[in-house]
Amino acid sequence: MVQKYQSPIRVYKHPFELVMEAYERRFPTCHLIPMFVDSEVLEETESEDGSIHQVQRRCKLDVDAPRLLKRIAGVDYVYFSQENTLNKRERTLHIESHNETFSNRVIIHELCSYSAHPENEDWTCFEQSASLDIKSFFGFESTVEKIAMKQYASSIKKGKEIIEFYLNQLDEEGISQVPRWTPSSSSVTTKPVCATPKLLQLELPVTPAVSIPVSTDANDREIANASNNDATQSDATSNDATSQPDDQMENQTGTPDDKLDADYIKRYLGDLTPLQESCLIRLRQWLQESHKGKTLTLTPSSPSSPPFQIPKDEHILRFLRARDFNMEKAREILCQSLTWRKQHQVDYLLETWTSPQVLNDYYTGGWHHHDKEGRPLYILRLGQMDTKGLVRALGEESLLRHVLSINEEGLRRCEENTKVFGRPISCWTCLVDLEGLNMRHLWRPGVKALLRIIEVVEANYPETLGRLLILRAPRVFPVLWTLVSPFIDENTRKKFLIYAGNDYQGPGGLLDYIDKEVIPDFLGGECMCEVPEGGLVPKSLYRTAEELENEDISLWTETIYQSASVFKGAPHEVVLEIIDAASVITWDFDVCKGDVVFHLYHSKRAPQPPRKDPLVGQHSSITTPGGNNVQLIDKSWTLGLDYSMVESPLTCKEGESVQGSHVTRWPGFYILQWRFHTMPGSASTNLPRVDDVLASLQVSSHKCKVMYYTEVIGSEDFRTACFDVQSLGSMTSLESSHSGFSQLSHATSNHSQSSSMISR
């Protein structure tokens, strides 16, 4: 498996030329890097005007590996080839290196670059990426991979320290400025391989740092400005050579050219190891590439819904931590959560959800200041809550929606506290008071609702609970804990602290985590707590299941999206009958699993619905937990005779979201089809390509999943903002004043070259 590394951008508050002067001093050897034994220049050239300086160098490394492994490999040193290109006119240095030793077994490739800061010409940026591919190594592939990654990670910070060391050395020598290159510089031609190169030395394949796309929204810009002030003070006291510029902190959401600054990560995300930073960067980059044009939050109540925004870095980091920075596993659960948020309009929950009065009066939970670490503090008096009464009066769905609004509010408070306290705060503390808990709380429907809530929160809000303080646990608590604990992630369970009776008042108790001034009065403190005291919900507020079902409060069942499964050889198809030839077909779908090909067909004949099985009386369509599979196009039909293709096939990768529309030219039946994407073989051979085989293995059981929404809208419901008269039915901007779809994709990018609009 190919291991990749990508680091944040590193900013030196020194001019490019001065950094290059410091960089020169690393060669031919550097005492700060014991493993860097020696280097020799193989070739050195300059352009005629002296603006381009190229150096090819061979480096000798003494890798810290077990002696036995070195003896088996038959080498004592490892050699790398480096090619450096300095452009004095553009003020850039590009470095490329690869291994010479065992190049047929191990492939190491590294790219580095120094450049003048785009916002401040007196600063210098450094970026780096690398890849490691161990094809075979005498049966020690796993060991070699671990050694390489360990040494690579440990040497990353060393690269920064080395540049700072030589910058300080230059300062001590009184060198604070190096003249920039000018066109009048003398020109030199090709030089022989003898002299030590005067300019340009490389970041070894053991000192990385790299470029990456970023996140954060408008709120983060305020935080960034506050951080810049902190950074300025820090520079004054510590003379840190690498700090982040103001504009660098203003990371625009979803802009591919954005970079994550190393100081930004430390300020807003905390201390991450180099490999953890790399996972964050690569996952965010994948989201940017695969979700372009996607609308993350679609809500009928928000006609002015913004375009898709890449999740904030804190949010991505939570999912990575939940899977121990396994990028593949984190990506899977993150994509599932993003689809869930879109399907149920969770991003607009705080704006659209108003708690019923019953919750305001009888739900015994609420936010209460913060703990000693600055985390928002949520208090839940579970023992005083009438769970049965709340479920009977509100229903499970309404309680679930309320809990989700609490979690959304917690995320918002974490962002605020990060700004207030000047350090990363990504989770909250929950204090649960169990005084009054008894067998009444083990009412089966209530426990069922609790388990479902835990399941949803665990799946979509990982690593948001920093600490759970359970106070005054009664004897019945072990019974409840036995029922609930299997649904709680192991990492989350480690954050639980349980106190029986009044143990919370002693050493190691509440005062260790919460300031005395904010301990609630009902726990013996002096702070008035506004959390409702609860009590029994009057039975007059109870409602029947039918009343709850008709009240339009369901969070899950009332979604405009439908799910479908797509199998190899069994596409999923939806038919839409068009009466008005000028109608518009709109679609919006997410590819939740696997790769699919989307088609749009037209037929004058009505496709026959799936036949019923005479034995069981059911349709022959496939029903699975992930959705239905319906096939409408009869196998006897001939393309071009019985039906025709009206849209070019569109291949959609896993994780992509596609929105589009088609202006119909004829009445009849239009069929939307999602077909399993089969990897094509190589053009020169019948054998499939290796990449295609590996990609196909990722789709288990040849099954794909899509979540889709379609709508047919008459032309009278639309206002045409721009109409392309050169192509019949071509529209570049379309807006509906009545349809639900237009409210969903109002802000979606619409690009069309034919008769449809499709955006990803």
Q: What is the DSSP string of 426-493?
A: --EEEEEE-TT--GGGG-HHHHHHHHHHHHHHHHHSTT-EEEEEEES--TTHHHHHHHHGGGS-HHHH
Give me the mean pLDDT over the 571-599 stretch.
Answer: 89
Do 11 and 243 form a contact (C-beta atoms < 8 A)? yes
pLDDT at 190: 41
Give me the mean pLDDT over the 219-233 stretch.
Answer: 40
Q: How confident is the model over 473-505, as pLDDT tens digits? A: 888 888 888 888 888 888 888 899 999 888 898
In sequence order, what are the residues at sequence separation of 6 or more whose Cβ sits closer than 8 angstroms to the Cβ of residue 101? 75, 77, 78, 79, 80
List the one residue out of 148, 144, 151 whose CA is nearest residue 68. Answer: 144
**What is each CA distance from 124 to 162, 164, 362, in whole angstroms?**
15, 13, 58
Q: Is the pLDDT confidence value at 622 over 70? A: no
Share the mean pLDDT of the chain: 76
Do 434 and 477 form a contact (C-beta atoms < 8 A)? yes
Q: How confident is the model over 19-51, as pLDDT tens digits? A: 999 999 989 988 888 888 899 999 999 999 999
pLDDT at 2: 81
In sequence order, what are the residues at sequence separation of 6 or more whose Cβ sits closer than 8 angstroms to the Cβ of residue 741? 586, 588, 709, 711, 713
Among residues of the chain, what percentage have pLDDT more than 70?
A: 74
Q: From CA 405, how far away is CA 348, in angstroms rounded?
A: 9
Its sign, for the CA torsion 214, 215, 217, 223, is: negative
Q: Is the pLDDT confidence value at 627 over 80? A: no
Task: Set out the domains of the chain in order of their start, with CATH numbers.
Answer: 2-173 (3.30.530.20), 262-290+309-339 (1.10.8.20), 347-540 (3.40.525.10), 561-607+629-678+702-737 (2.60.120.680)
pTM above 0.85, yes or no: no
Q: Is the pLDDT confidence value at 582 over 80? A: yes
Q: From CA 258, how far away is CA 94, in angstroms rounded?
A: 20
pLDDT at 166: 93
Q: How confident is the model over 718-747, as pLDDT tens digits? A: 444 333 323 333 332 333 333 333 333 333
What's the pLDDT band for 347 if we cut at 50, 70, 90? confident
Strands (E), 284-403: 365-370, 376-380
Give me the mean pLDDT over the 212-217 stretch.
Answer: 36
pLDDT at 302: 40
pLDDT at 717: 55
List the one residue out of 381, 376, 478, 369 whose CA is nearest residue 429. Answer: 376
Q: How confident is the model over 62-103, as pLDDT tens digits? A: 887 777 777 777 888 889 999 999 999 999 999 999 999 888
Q: Is the pLDDT confidence value at 365 over 60? A: yes
Give me the mean pLDDT over the 155-174 stretch.
Answer: 86
pLDDT at 18: 94
List the one residue out of 425, 375, 378 whose CA is nearest residue 223. Answer: 425
Q: From CA 333, how far away is CA 386, in angstroms rounded?
A: 34
Q: From CA 87, how far away is CA 54, in angstroms rounded?
A: 9
- CB count within 10 Å of CB 557 equals 7
pLDDT at 624: 46
* Cα angle value 425/426/429 (rounded, 5°): 85
Q: Is the pLDDT confidence value at 284 over 50? A: yes
pLDDT at 514: 94
What's the pLDDT band for 339 if we cut at 50, 70, 90? confident
What's the pLDDT band for 620 if we cut at 50, 70, 90? very low
Q: Is the pLDDT confidence value at 238 over 50? A: no
- Say which DSSP state 90 is in: T
Q: Is the pLDDT confidence value at 240 over 70? A: no
Do 390 and 343 form a contact (C-beta atoms < 8 A)? no
Structure tokens at 699: 């789709």
**What is each CA distance from 666 to 579, 711, 730, in whole angstroms?**
8, 17, 14
* Cα angle value 437/486/414 (rounded, 5°): 75
Q: How confident is the model over 411-462, as pLDDT tens digits? A: 999 999 999 999 999 999 999 999 998 877 878 788 888 888 888 999 999 9
What's the pLDDT band for 158 if we cut at 50, 70, 90? confident
At 526, phi and psi to the nearest 5?
Answer: -110, 0
